[in-house]
Structure 1
Amino acid sequence: MADNIARVFADAIAPDPARPLLTWYDDATGERTEISGATAANWVAKTANLLVDEAAVTHGDPVGVLSPPHWQTAAVLLGCWAAGTTVADSPGPVEVLFAAADRVTEADAWPAGERYALALHPLGLPLRVVPDGFADYVNAVRVHGDHFGGAPAGPQDTALLTRATARAAQLGIPSGGRVLIDTARHPDPVDWLLAPLVAGASTVLCAHLDPEKLAARTHTEQVTHTLA
């Protein structure tokens, strides 16, 4: 196994960058967004460049991510790890805070030098109204480069990859498979993001999963394993 998360991500998409890497559903809103490996890599690189060039983070700096399982959250997390930062798992001071628009009220518990709000729009559009004290993530990230030069593995990489490998085995995620994941049952990014990556699997990530749609979706998306 590679020794850093950025390399695991690169290895996962290398065989076919055009293949869907993450397909997002929200059954409460009817949203569906499909992200290829190449598109994800673009978002990840832009996020890493944002952190390094605009927010001036350095290796190991703490970053907060207050955002639910989502394709855009995946890009932010992978961008943070690519830049060699530490994603904080509890409130406290951080260099940068990324927060979904409906969670910005929690920001006081996360003192940060830079703050970015995520609209989590299915098409990746920016916020119509940007919360006070925040910059819009989409508008900020789009001006940054599509490629990132790379950083040393972050302090969390080994522990997270060890956990992800164990979880992939425990959850029975097949190598190279297509896994449907209910976000309500598996909100930890080790489960919904990293475990599929270490297995080389693509993901159908479902929020507010409607059980009545499960059978049809499994067939339509050619799902090989279900975590619901």
Structure 2
Amino acid sequence: MIWLIGGTSESVLIAETLLAQGLLCLVSVTTKSAIDLYPKTDLITVKVGALSFEKMITLAETYGIEKIVDASHPYAAAVSQSAIELSQQLQIPYLRYERPQVSPDNSFPIIELDSFDTLVNGDYLHDHRVLLTVGYKALPQFQSWHQKATLFARVLPSVSSVENALEAGFSPKQLIALRPPVSYELEKALCEQWQISLIVTKASGKAGGEDIKRQVATALGIPLIVIRRPELAYPQKTSKLESVVNFCCEHG
């Protein structure tokens, strides 16, 4: 059985492709809403919820996992690290599927930073009207900036996302709940409506709308700050679906 660690739109395509090969799949996701994204077939089992390292070991042993495909979000570093440790401890082959990076456009300057800590401890946001498209989990790190900048955030339309944003000091008028993908026209209109002077995003690739944000920042002539992906020492990594299928189908 293949263990597909989900969490991205690409993981659904990977699951569909593996099932078409007749491979048994265990898929792990963090939210119940993600269950409906995957095919309904006896070949697939979907597990929901955060997994401790101990639970991951139990799952691997219970389902007789033979291969691990890590297609978790580029910023879910803790999940990937646990999966790598699990593969090493139980000697299960591991492959990281990494969504492709957006090719840089040298015609417009992008500010790339290594972490949110670097961003909030610097002076990048001062006096700006900032649109944060970084996920609700990162919003608490910006609490100290509510008095030094005008912050707005786009979050997923879920109760937990909105509640966490409110707890991080964002008022309802500073929030908009939208499910990606967000079109160029809508992203640009939102920035114009809020008179945004700076956009902050993660290097989430085209699937995460990074290319759209780059286009909008260029069109409006405003700075774009991109937080780089965490760097991990993946045993194996690919951005090609074909390589994932070959990895899962090969014996040994």
Same fold judged by TM-score > 0.5?
Answer: no
Query: Based on CA coordinates, which of the two structures has the bigger radius of gyration?
Result: 2
**Structure of greater relative contact order (alpha carbons < 8 Å, 6+ residues apart):** 1
